[in-house]
Amino acid sequence: MRIRLTSVFVDDQDAARTFYTETLGFAVKHDVPLGDDAWLTLVEPGDVDGIELLLEPSSHPAVAPYRDALREDGIPSLVLHVDDLAAEHARLAAAGVVFTQPPVDAGTVHVAVFDDTCGNLVQLLQPKG
């Protein structure tokens, strides 16, 4: 058993595509129109067969209360691993990304949290060692 796809709910797929590709650096793998929405998945650049991130429309009525509760408690909807948190924080901050938690030492990892502009908090995580 393997994880091949995971998802994050987004308020606007077009805005999310722009943020996740142009700002964060992911690459579009699938963009299949489905009515007003799309089957829109991203992968790490250079890893077309890697784990896909589905930018899932947030229109289902259960999504808003769930995400609102997570945001209110400061809980990220998505965790992304990075090799150099300080460098990623500097790059993203320079691009205008708003961090709700600057980089901090959290024991076995360094973490930071930012707003993805699409309804979610996203945690950057750099393992130590």
pLDDT band at 129 (very low <50, low <70, confident <90, very high): confident
**Enclosing domain of residue 86:** 5-127
Total number of domains constituting the chain: 1
pLDDT digits (tens, 9 = 90+) for 60-77: 999 999 999 999 999 999
- Burial class of residue 4, CB neighbours in 10 A (0-12, 13-18, 19+): exposed
Average pLDDT over residues 14-18: 98
CATH number where 79 lies? 3.10.180.10
Predicted model pTM: 0.95
Q: How far apart are CA 95 and CA 90, in angstroms?
A: 9
